[in-house]
Structure 1
Amino acid sequence: MNNHVVLYKKLSAPLMQRLQAHTEVTLIDDPKSAAGLACLRDALHKADGLLGASLKLDAALLDLAPRLKVVSSVSVGVDNYDIDYLTKRGILLSNTPDVLTQTTADTGFALIMATARRVVELANLVRSGQWTQNIGPAHFGSDVHGKKLGIIGMGRIGEALAQRGHFGFGMPILYHSHSPKPAVEARFNAEYRSLEDLLKEADFVCLTLPLTAETEGLIGAEQIALMRPETIFINIARGKVVDEQALIDALSNQRIRAAGLDVFGHEPLDKGSALLQLDNVVATPHMGSATFETREAMARCAVDNLLSALNGERPANLVNPDAWSVKR
């Protein structure tokens, strides 16, 4: 048991026992606190592997880990990591795709339904005792079935969202991706659109793409202005893909109908955010993969990736394959 793992995310008892059976483990509680970060910095000098999520690991921090072989992220997104730096050092980076695809798509469709039918707003009306008569046009929502579902980023989650819309709700599927996807078009009768045309045509605009240098700020005031007043905007990707202030302006002035947001430019969302003052916003706490089953599956996948790498094997979910050749 020569490998040492620094764990900055709590695991279930079975997974913790498995990890401890093969490695020495240092668990860092609350790594985002000053005390937790200090403990992490102190532990990095002996780390052969890191396992965790939701913590930005930059070069200045990882320079403290000269023995590091692998970073196993309990996530799909890898925007918290300097991939070029890791690759140059031959440090493997792994993530947990696939296991959260269906659950995150469920969340996306929940936001579609909640915004279109004004579920949160009207539930609060009942809870506050203001439901005193049958609701009228002032509280009507929008149909979902048969409406055009526009998906920006047709990866695993985008496909799962298209499946729900096409087969479950009879929605015509429009999509924009870095390239056309004939298999998706055949399966869902989907139609490829330029970003501009999708924004003009879709009744629901849903973001499911990763945050990269190319996608940061992809949806700004100019793009939002292309949407129609009836458009509902859904983001289950990353908050920084969107100019949040431009979105607030559009929602405040009813230039688009509503937004369902599970991600934000800064998380947790500030209590003073204007988004929280708008009735036409459904805001959830980055809960896309937050079910008992999926979070356990993600953690299990991350442990598998980590142990494979420490055993000298190529992890199943290697993000930076060039690091494998550097390592070897």
Structure 2
Amino acid sequence: MTTTVLVLVETINDYLPIIENSGFTLILAPTPAERAKAIATHGEQINAVLTRGPLGLYADEIAALPHLEIICVIGAGYEHVDLGAARARGVMVTNGAGVNAPSVADHAMALLLSLVRDIPGADASVRRGEWRKVMRPSLAGKRLGILGLGSVGMAIAKRAALGFDMSVSYHNRRPRSDVPYAYCATAAELALVSDFLIVATPGGAGTHQLVDRNVLEALGPNGFIVNIARASVISTVDLIDALEHKRIAGAALDVFDDEPQVPDALKVLSNVVLTPHVAGLSPEASQGTVQLVADNLLAFFSGKPVLTPVPLPEN
């Protein structure tokens, strides 16, 4: 019997042959309209769904797929996958935690360097025929705070500590006993002891607007913040206010509340660096995440344990 996978992700087409060559039939539906049409038209034959955290899979969609058995999420976050509905239906959920961590960590450091050293502004000045020289801080010896010390946070910490001689502190839901970095009990406490704050925690209800006015005030007028996680972790209203009134020195953002829409208030600020949610995009990360999806699908449909199961709620 043919096993059919509905693919909602829009950035991995070059690597989808990995899944097809594993024996699966794919239905591509990368836009909202194509997604709705595919579920309405092919719902009876879909056995698996490939999605990512911001795209998710909702309860009504799960209900419309009577033969759905597994949801595979690319990347670590699964905030818009209805886990309760999946559990009620007995649907397995997997994610891609850790596979794209090197790419995301590289991008986080690139954003931090661009922001702190004002690379976009310097580049623009040269292109305008100017020769603007501005004194900017160094990264060496500074204090880095990492909000969320999972796979991505750990990769960032190693780059910062070993590559830039930075001291590293972190905040997690609970302290880790296997790292040499200093633990802070709250996000505000972390911001208070940081020159730079990088957000690397998953999205979802547990981290919603964890970085608010109080955290930004603790970071202070010389502090910089980078977000390569989920926009929901930072209060956008509080962030824009802090940037406009120079209560923090600057922000670099790869994620936004209503992608691809970006607030004009952010676009006009000179102390902001913006990228279009590309931190996890690299050939290496894309191939690795799609290979993990194929491995999870092969294991599941062979009756073996999946490699990266997502824990489902008890009730």
Instruction: State if a TM-score over 0.5 links the two structures.
Output: yes
Give the counterpart of 1:317 among 281, 304, 308: 308
In structure 1, which of residues 219, 225, 228 is the aligned counterpart of residue 217 of structure 2? 225
| Counterpart for residue 178 of structure 1 | 173
For 1:318, what is the secondary structure of its paired residue? coil
- Structure 2 SS opposite 1:38: helix
Which of residues 140, 150, 154 in structure 1 aligns to 2:145? 150
Alignment correspondent of 2:18? 15
Structure 1 residue 5: Cα displacement: 2.3
Which structure's CA Rg is the greater one?
A: 1
Q: Does 1:167 align with 2:162?
A: yes
**CA–CA distance in 2 between the matches of 1:88 and 1:148?**
45
What is the alpha-carbon distance in structure 2 between the residues aligned to residue 170 and residue 248 of structure 1? Answer: 30
Determine helix, strand or coil for the equivalent of 1:225. Answer: helix
Q: How does 1:1-328 map to 2 (within 5 A)?
A: 1-9=1-9, 10-12=13-15, 14-19=17-22, 22-23=23-24, 25-32=25-32, 34-53=33-52, 54-131=54-131, 135=133, 139-185=134-180, 190-195=181-186, 196-270=188-262, 272-320=263-311
Segments of structure 1 that go 5 or more residues without pairing to the other structure are none
Q: CA deviation at 1:275?
A: 0.6
Counterpart residue identity of residue 8, structure 2: Y
Q: CA deviation at 1:239?
A: 0.2
Task: For residue 52 of structure 1, give the secondary structure of its aligned residue in structure 2.
Answer: strand
Deviations 1:230-255 (A, max 9, x none): 00001111001111011011111111
In the TM superposition, residue 31 of structure 1 has moved relative to its aligned partner by: 3.0
Find the aligned partners of 1:318 and 1:11 in 2 and give their Cα distance.
25
> Contact between 2:39 and 2:61, CA under 8 Å: does it hold in 1?
no
Q: Identity across aligned pairs (percent)?
A: 28
AA partner of residue 294 (structure 2)? V
Distance 1:184 1:13, change over 3 A: closer
Amino acid across the alignment from 2:15: S
Q: Residues 63, 294 of structure 1: CA spacing in aligned structure 2 closer, same or farther, 3 A cutoff?
A: same
Separation of aligned partners in 1, 2:266 and 2:246:
13
Amino acid at match of 2:51: G
Runs of 4+ aligned residues of structure 1 deviating over 4 Å after TM superposition are none
Distance in 2 of aligned mates of 1:13 and 1:208: 27
Read off the aligned partner of 1:317 and give its amino acid letter: T
One-letter identity of the residue aligned with 2:175: P
Report if the CA contact (8 A) 2:4-2:27 is conserved. Answer: no
SS in 1 for 2:93: strand
The one-letter code of the counterpart of 2:70 is V
- Per-residue Cα deviation, 1:66-116 (whole angstroms, up to 9, x for no partner): 111101122211012011211121100111122111111111111111111
CA contact (8 A) 2:199 2:228 kept: yes
TM-score, normalized by length of structure 2? Answer: 0.92
- State the SS of the aligned residue for 1:304: helix
How far is the alpha carbon of 1:322 from its aligned partner? 7.2
Alignment partner of 1:259: what SS? strand
Distance 1:197 1:55, change over 3 A: closer
Which amino acid letter does the alignment assign opposite residue 42 of structure 1? T
1:204-250: CA deviations, max 9, x gaps? 01111101212111111222122211000011110011110110111
Q: Which has the higher contact order (CA 8 A, sep 6+)?
A: 1
Does the aligned pair in 1 maintain the 2:199–2:229 contact within 8 Å?
yes
CA deviation after TM superposition for structure 1 residue 13, in Å:
5.9
**1:35–1:156 distance in 2 versus 1, CA, 3 Å:** closer
Question: Which 10-residue stretch deviates more, 258-267 or 9-18?
Answer: 9-18
Q: Which amino acid aligns with 2:183?
A: Y
Task: Letter of the 1:39 partner, please give it.
Answer: A
Deviation at 1:159, TM superposition (A): 1.1
Whether the aligned pair in 1 keeps the contact of 2:39 and 2:65 (CA below 8 Å) is no
Q: How many pairs does the alignment contain?
A: 310
Amino acid at match of 1:145: A
Across the aligned residues of Structure 1 and Structure 2, the Cα RMSD in angstroms comes to 1.9
Distance 1:35 1:90, change over 3 A: closer
Q: Is the 1:92–1:320 Cα contact (8 Å) retained in structure 2?
A: no
Give distance in 2, aligned partners of 1:199 and 1:162: 16
Contact kept, 8 Å, 2:83 with 2:313, in 1: the verdict is no
The answer to whether the Cα contact below 8 Å between 1:153 and 1:177 also exists between their aligned partners in 2 is yes
SS at match of 1:182: coil
Residue type of the alignment partner of 1:293: E
TM-score (norm 1): 0.89
